[in-house]
């Protein structure tokens, strides 16, 4: 019969299954650019949530929802747990997370500044800063993860023109 002590004394298994077994945090990810961006987004979202809680509680749900979504992405990336779900397009999901957060925080920030409350104005300022962080994150995701895939799909090497007189050449020709 195996006990917890017996499992601890066994040598570690090799391969991908052993690498994905636990929830060990990758400290190099947390100090990378993506990790710092996610941590900054998390901190600013929490600050905005606190500001909305102090002033306009109607808008705090948007900040709280985005806080939990960003926390989930930080957890999945920092623990490498997202690799278990290889059927999902993680760069696309992360890009959509950033774009939706930009839209939500732009609308909520400009709506909150109309109340002229001190905490709402602070939420507006932090919201604009957060929108710029999300925009930079979306830009980096697109440049590093999504744009190279689009160029790889086009195929290697220069494109060749179709043979004269073929159907493709007739359909694509401006003289038709």
- 35-40 mean pLDDT: 92
Residue 159 located in a structural domain: no
Residue 116 located in a structural domain: yes
CB 63 within 8 A of CB 131: no
Whole-model pTM: value is 0.70
- 63-77 mean pLDDT: 92
CA–CA distance, 61 with 104 (Å, rounded to integer):
11
CA–CA distance, 30 with 140 (Å, rounded to integer):
16
Residue-range definition of the domain harbouring residue 97: 26-147
Which of 20-24, 121-125, 154-158 has the lowest average pLDDT? 154-158
CB 47 within 8 A of CB 32: no
> Domain count of the chain?
1
Residue 125 located in a structural domain: yes
């Amino acid at each position: 019969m195996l006990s917890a002590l017996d499992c601890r004394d066994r040598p570690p298994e090799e391969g991908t299954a052993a690498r994905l077994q636990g929830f060990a945090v990758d400290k190099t990810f947390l100090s990378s650019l993506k990790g710092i961006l996610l941590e900054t987004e998390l901190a600013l979202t929490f600050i905005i949530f606190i500001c909305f809680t102090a002033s306009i509680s109607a808008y705090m749900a948007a900040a709280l929802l985005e806080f939990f979504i960003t926390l989930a992405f930080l957890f999945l990336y920092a623990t490498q747990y997202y690799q278990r779900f290889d059927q999902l397009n993680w760069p696309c999901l992360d890009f959509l997370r950033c774009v939706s957060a930009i839209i939500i925080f732009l609308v909520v920030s400009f709506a909150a500044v109309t109340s002229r409350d001190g905490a709402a104005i602070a939420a507006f300022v932090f919201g604009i800063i957060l929108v710029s962080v999300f925009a930079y994150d979306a830009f980096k995701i697109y440049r590093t993860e999504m744009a190279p895939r689009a160029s790889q799909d086009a195929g290697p090497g220069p494109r060749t023109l179709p043979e004269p007189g073929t159907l493709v050449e007739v359909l694509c020709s401006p003289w038709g």
